[in-house]
Chain A
Amino acid sequence: MISKTPVSLITGASRGIGRAAALKLAQTGHELILIARDLIALEQVQADCQALGALVSIYAVDLTDRDAVTALFRQIHTALQDKALSHLVHCAGQMQDSLLAMTRLTDMDKLMALNVGATVQLCQLASKLMLRHKTGHLLLLSSKVAEAGSAGQAVYAATKGAVSALVKSLAKELGPTGIRVNAVAPGFIETDLTAHYSEEKKQQLMAQISLRRLGQADEVAAAIGFLCSTDAGYITGHILAVDGGFSV
């Protein structure tokens, strides 16, 4: 008998949007495979999701270690047995605030390796698992700045622009095999990535947001929950802004 329980792999699951996505999908009956670097934080999220009734396995991996990621997918392949991987929810990423002239190229390489290189590899490996069942969903995290740009975040915005381009291209490439590809594009969300913003900067940002407040990780997770539901079965190649009207 084929299990109807969707299996979702979430990266960056130890905190922020990844953690919120894990809790959201746990609530809606998904089996979870959670990935992050911080094993202790991951164990806590695992316990929180299990308390919601979800079956949860966790793996501590640095996603910029390509051999480790390949090895991880070998493990997941074995663990899944005949079950399909339903969703890849790739939340892991890094932000970098620096003006162009003050951007070290070594820092750029690190950011590209995580935000772009790891994303490509994860899509490659996850889609191969999905192809076996001719169904699946790759859900990536882009950003409002990918489309609008952001002074002082040029390289970060470029990495997120690459993610958006990847979504559009992979939706066309993988659609015929039954795999959907989408992204959510958060605006300014209160997470660890934005925790260093001063109160003054937050006030300036809020003045530009239609809803006049910063977003919460739960609100992005709600959009992720929808895109990972059967209600979104005909949606692919879409980048869903979750930005309080910042892009209006």
Chain B
Amino acid sequence: MSNELIQTNTAKLTTAFATALVVADTQIHDDLAYNSIKEWDSTAHMLLIAELENVFNVMLDTDDIIDMSSVAKAKVILSKYGVSF
């Protein structure tokens, strides 16, 4: 996997999080966790899942949606669907 593609996926992930949570890109980092900021509530989590599915053209399993508790975890889960970071 090329570094360029990995960087692109990381940028896409950051943008997807920022779009769904309606926060600045600079607020998106690996340690950012579900419910740790008011913008990442349960409603935003649903929008985030939809955004990630759309951006990476995947359909996440319910268990993965439940497990997606942080940005770092999102990367791990998306890796299972062939998206590299």
Contact = CB atoms under 8 A, between A and B. Distances in A.
Given A73-B59, A74-B59, A77-B59, A128 B43 contact: no
A177 B47 CA distance: 8
Interface string B18-52: 00000000000000000000000001001101110
Interface of B: 43, 46-47, 49-51, 53-54, 59, 62
Nearest to A71: B59
A131 B59 contact: no
Nearest to A70: B59
Contacts, number: 25
A128 B53 contact: yes
A110 to B, nearest CB: 23
A177 B59 contact: no
A79 B83 CA distance: 21
Size bin of chain A's contact surface: 10 to 19
**Interface SS of B by simple majority:** helix
Given A73-B59, A128-B50, A128-B59, 9 more contacts: A70-B59, A77-B53, A77-B59, A131-B47, A131-B49, A132-B51, A132-B54, A176-B43, A177-B47
A189 B62 CA distance: 37
A128 to B, nearest CB: 6
Contacts of B51: 132
A132 B19 CA distance: 11
A131 B48 CA distance: 9
A127 B43 CA distance: 12
Nearest to A73: B59
B62 A131 contact: no
A124 interface: yes
A128 B50 CA distance: 6
A109 B33 CA distance: 39
Contacts of B62: 124
Interface in A87-146: 124, 127-128, 131-132, 134
